Chains A and B, each alone.
Chain A
Amino acid sequence: MSPLLFWILAVVSVGAAVLMITTKNPVRSALALVTTFLCVAVYYITLSAQFIAAVQVIVYAGAIMVLFLFVIMLLNLGAPQALEEKGSLQPVIAWSLGGILLLTLTAARSLFTLNSPQAGANVYEPLGTVRAIGLNLFDPAQPWLFPFEMTSILLLVATVGAIIMAKRQV
């Protein structure tokens, strides 16, 4: 990844993430989260994980965030006043948890050196494509057959849950 691309991406993704938690308007906040997701998708591409990047865009940015927006609109959270809370412990807890996470990450960074993508690019190149993921996901020799089938059960449960929550009277 060229330094220029890195800096553009870093500024946009971190800026959007900060905007997402600081902005008062939930719809703008959701939009900032979408921007962050898209930046993460570009990061995945730079790591040669193309399929994951596509999934990031299609499922997270294109489907889940649409649901978020719908929920924001459904609950009519559009007005910033609706979300104001006073005397809550939430900011204190959030800041301390964030601090702990930052400490952990710094410690991990100083104790271990992560594989740099440049060094491992040749090894990981073919693993991120749709073909490689398909070959490994459906391979009977691999242990991922069962989790894959379980995903469908999970999705079935999600379907039933969605219906029961939305249509209680039926």
Chain B
Amino acid sequence: MNSYLPILIMVGVSLAISTSMVVGSFLLGPKKPSVAKSSPYECGMVPVGNARERFPIKFYLIAMLFIIFDVETIFLYPFAVVYRDQAYAMKVFYLTEMAVFSAILFVGYFYILGKGALDWDGSDRAKSPDSTSAEVLAPRPALRFGNEKSGDVDLDLMAHNVSVPMFGASSQEERLPGRVATVGDREE
């Protein structure tokens, strides 16, 4: 108990520091409230509706799962503390006991994984991870570069034949005095 007293005092001092920060800023700063200042900040838009909206059930689920695994971690602490100083046979017993405990919880963990409760990118993806890949991998029309004046432009050719001025590339700039190469140049 005595060794906890300084900790309690430290918490008290921390509380005093934080209170003095709030009070100090309250007393020292100017007070000029206006309608614009006291409205919620939404990048200049007028806020619509209540800010305290309902939110996805996902967060609730995460909090629930956290409790379950937190309790498991709590049980691991006494195990970890006493494990080291045991004899071999005792260690085997402890380890088996804890392994059974964790294995049962891991069944739950894999159940969660299988149900897709830990997937945050939509339930379609959760069911079949490859469902979007066909769409992504499908052949697409070739990209075309250039505008109506220039017609199609081959970017590979450009990279080899035309020097484009870049920041810090002083030697290239010297080779093209006064003019900046543009896409149209090559066709003239």
Contacts and interface: CB of A to CB of B under 8 A. Distances in A.
B101 A70 contact: no
Contact of A70 (B60, B102, B109): B60
How big is chain B's contact interface, by range? Answer: 35 or more
A131 B82 contact: yes
A63 B66 CA distance: 7
A51 B78 contact: yes
Interface string B41-82: 000000000001111010111011111101110110111011
B184 interface: no
Contacts of B112: 159, 163
Interface stretch (B32-40, B115-123, B156-164): B115-123
B60 A149 contact: no
Interface residues of A, number: 49
Given A59-B74, A138-B78, A152-B101, A166 B64 contact: yes
Nearest to B7: A45
B154 interface: no
A163 B115 contact: yes
Interface stretch (B92-100, B141-149, B171-179): B92-100
Given A67-B64, A163-B61, 16 more contacts: A42-B8, A51-B77, A58-B70, A67-B60, A79-B52, A131-B82, A134-B79, A134-B81, A138-B82, A145-B97, A155-B71, A156-B108, A159-B109, A160-B111, A166-B117, A170-B123
20 contacts: A5-B8, A48-B1, A59-B67, A67-B66, A75-B54, A76-B52, A130-B77, A138-B82, A138-B93, A145-B97, A148-B97, A149-B100, A151-B71, A152-B101, A159-B109, A166-B61, A166-B64, A166-B117, A167-B116, A167-B117
The 4 A-B residue pairs with the shortest CB-CB distance in the complex, in nearest-first order: A134-B78, A134-B82, A159-B108, A152-B104
